[in-house]
Structure 1
Amino acid sequence: MFLYLFILAGANYISNKEEFLNESHKETTKLVKKNCSGCGEKMAYEEIFCGNCGNKMIN
């Protein structure tokens, strides 16, 4: 019986830890719109180069 309760408590701890990590990751991840220096296309992610023409993305 003790082993069963120990396993349940461990599973609950792991799920709580995963939920905490997911919430903390959401706070640090921000989507920033950047414009392409060549074609002017806007990207919703923090890209370095444009997926359309290959030029560098700027804020």
Structure 2
Amino acid sequence: MPNPKRRHSKRRTALRRSHDFLTAGSLSICPNCQEKKLPHRACAKCGEYKGRAVLETKEAVS
């Protein structure tokens, strides 16, 4: 098997490994229905954003 001719620098090794330690994104709680949602987005369950309905959902229609 071929072997590397030169040693990789610490910076090159660190750049390659920089994506190994990614963390999960944060979630916030909807103030209307208390479900978890992505921050700064309308709630998928109740369809509200900043206290007003912006999406039609099955629960809101029925």
TM-score range with shorter-chain normalisation? 0.3 to 0.5
More relative contact order in 1 or in 2 (CA 8 Å, sep 6+)?
1
Structure index of larger Rg: 2
Q: TM-score, normalised by structure 2?
A: 0.39
When you count helix as a share of all residues, which structure comes out higher?
1
